Structure 1
Amino acid sequence: MMRMVTGSRFAAFLIGLVGISVGLAVPAKAGDAALVEFPSASTPPSKFKIRQAKAKGIALKPEPGFPIQGRLRLPEGAGPFPALVLLHDCQGIQQFQSGWAETFEEAGYATLQVDSFAPRDVSGTCEDVLGEGVSGLGGQRVMDAFGALFYLEQHAQIDPRRIGAVGWSRSSTTGSALRDGSRQFFQRGFKAIVSFYPNCKSVATAAFADPILILNAGKNDWTNAELCSSLAAADPNVEILELPAAFQGFDDPKWGQETIMPEYQNTLKDPTFGVTFGFDEAARLEAKDAALTYLSGKI
């Protein structure tokens, strides 16, 4: 069964989720989600700018990062716990991702669901994914990932040596691990990364500085699945789980068996709109086992 979802109906769904996120309170017990605030990371000044400032007797300081927020969950116990930064896609934080947070918590991980959109008054970017890149928001979301990493490193109940990241589709997971990307500005990155059905076009010829597992949906018509498959052969830091019968969003029950979002921008099509989503419980369970096994071996 296939259904079509209009942009207006989906926008209402997103607004409801944003309302939930800002209404979170400090948790009464372990396992509840707490709304926390922290700054996005900022790019350190270049060596050239530092030399220029020094010559003028000026001490350069990094500009403060943009204030963002997230949902923090802690497992039972005193810790310190390993932790995972969870990075949403162009829809913003979704209910199924909170389900993943619970799954990771049950496995012993603290989780921090980063909300890159609500603090910037953005409801979603799926209808203009190219515009997100042009506006600079895509790069800002990578810095949000590092801001979350640095926040968790300072948390009393988190083991700063055991922090990974998990992201979905057009998130900042792959971007945060690129050797020649924002990762080059920081002395450390994530211990391991899991990326659900990412867009591999922008990283097809890139090198990764940190280990990453890509959960590749073979029937994904929003990204080129073959480009993701080729990364593992070219880069020892990349592992791939191939799910040949899975659509984009195979781990999100709201999509049903198959759903087309006609207003979502899709550069692989002409005209450049329309994305197919579909939930697949077998693929979700296979991805769950693979992700937990991968993370336990790295973090």
Structure 2
Amino acid sequence: MEKMTRLPTKVKLIMFLAILVVAIALILLQLPEKQQGKVVLLSNTELLDTYQLSATLMQPNGVGPHPAAVLLHGCYGVSNKHDQWGKTLNEWGYTTLIVDSFSALGIKDICTAEDKIWQHFNQRRPKDALVALNYLQSLSEVNPNNIVLFGWSYGGAITLKVLEQNSAIERKSYSAGIAFYPSCWQYQQYLMSGKQYKANVPIRILMGEDDEWTQPIHCQQLLNNNKDKSHQQLLTFTGAYHNFDDQQQRYQLLKNVRKESKQQPWGSVRVSYNKQAHLDAQAAVREFLNNNLSKHKPE
């Protein structure tokens, strides 16, 4: 009888430990991966607008100078998605700089912020992109003629602004641009004031066909103004929502967020990771970079 009473206790202990291990594993899977790279402090030195912001520099293997990429986050700030893209670009031989426009100001996100906050960052974030470009061009391990600007969502709209032909600064020019699901409607409303859009470098916009937060139709209308389809082009991915390239983004209905409408500026949108769209986007980005960046090293 003594042995019979001990056996269930041991079984219960084993089952408890097994469940505990599984629970810990599930928690660890949902935690954001620790960002790798070196945190650097960038400075805007304009006389009337001096400020600092942080960024994460991630280096590829091998001897440089390497091509490079600046990564601009969306309204939710820097996330694991940007770190993952940084690693992917490192594997392709790119130095990457993930720019954090919010944390130095004590801001986590501005997705539900009032208009004056957005207006402030509409003016400031293009400067952030140029400060980042200037920093990378100062590094001996970076090819100053091969630097690409990446942006996601709100960062994608800023990418469009920075690469607009009329706003280009010749000595601080990016070589190409990638905009993931930007709000072309927001760009037209807040940054462009109805002007005809034309980028000064090759640019690709990548979006999910079913994106409800930033709708592809607005980007298509924006690019229809330009006759050179190979220079600036919209690529869409079947069955994909906003944030389709974020591996930690579960299917979710976000409520009470800003939408692309003056009549109904707040509403609900679906977001979700889409593995196939992510893989297709990676392939499209790599092909675009291979076709649009010079292969030679600077003399």
TM-score bin (small chain)? 0.7 to 0.9
**Which residue number corresponds to residue 232 of structure 2?**
238
The CA RMSD over aligned residues, in Å, is 2.2
Q: Using the alignment, how far apart are the partners of 2:98 and 2:236 within structure 1?
A: 26
Q: Does the CA contact (< 8 Å) of 1:39 and 1:64 recur in 2?
A: no
Name the structure 1 match of 2:267: 273
What residue in structure 1 maps to residue 290 of structure 2? 296
Distance 1:40 1:129, change over 3 A: farther
**How far did residue 206 of structure 1 move?**
2.1
- Tell me, yes or no, if the aligned pair for 2:43 and 2:50 is still in contact at 8 Å: yes
Tell me the equivalent position of 1:285: 279
Q: What is the number of equivalent residue pairs in this alignment?
A: 249
Q: Distance in 2 between matches of 1:166 and 1:41?
A: 23
Match of 1:163 among 142, 147, 172: 147
Q: Does 1:225 align with 2:219?
A: no
Q: Distance in 2 between matches of 1:63 and 1:210?
A: 29
1:115 is matched with: 100
Tell me what 2:122 maps to: 138
Change (3 A) 1:130 1:283: farther
Q: 1:81 aligns with which of 66, 69, 79?
A: 66
Give 1:96-107 correspondences, 5 Å limit. 96-107=81-92
TM-score by length of 2: 0.77
- Aligned residue for 1:208? 199
Name which of 251, 256, 260 aligns with 1:263: 256
Deviation at 1:174, TM superposition (A): 1.2
TM-score, normalised to structure 1's length? 0.77
Q: State the 1:123 CA deviation.
A: 0.8
Deviations 1:43-87 (A, max 9, x none): xxxxxxxxxxxxxxxxxxx44642111000111123111000011
CA separation of 1:36/1:233 partners in 2, compared to 1, >3 Å: closer, same or farther?
Answer: same
* Structure 2 unmatched ranges of 5 or more: 1-30, 189-193, 294-299
Residue of structure 2 in register with 1:147 after alignment: 131
Opposite residue 257 of structure 2, the aligned amino acid is Y
What amino acid is the match of 1:295?
A: L
Structure 1 residues 209 and 132, CA gap change in structure 2 (3 angstroms): farther
Question: In the alignment, what sits opposite 2:17?
Answer: none
1: CA distance, partners of 2:265 / 2:95:
42
DSSP 3-state at the match of 1:167: strand
Identical counterparts, % of pairs: 26
Report if aligned partners of 2:209, 2:236 keep a CA contact under 8 Å in 1.
yes
Q: Which residue of 1 aligns with 2:15?
A: none
Considering Cα pairs closer than 8 Å and 6+ residues apart, tell me whether 1 or 2 has the greater RCO.
1
Instruction: Please say if residues 41 and 146 of structure 1, whose CA atoms lie closer than 8 Å, have aligned partners that are also in contact.
Output: no
**Structure-2 separation of matches of 1:200 and 1:120:** 26
Runs of 4+ in 1 over 6 A off after TM superposition: none
SS in 1 for 2:60: coil
Unaligned runs of 5+ in 1: 1-15, 22-31, 43-61
Structure whose alpha-carbon radius of gyration is higher: 2
TM superposition shift of 1:179:
2.2
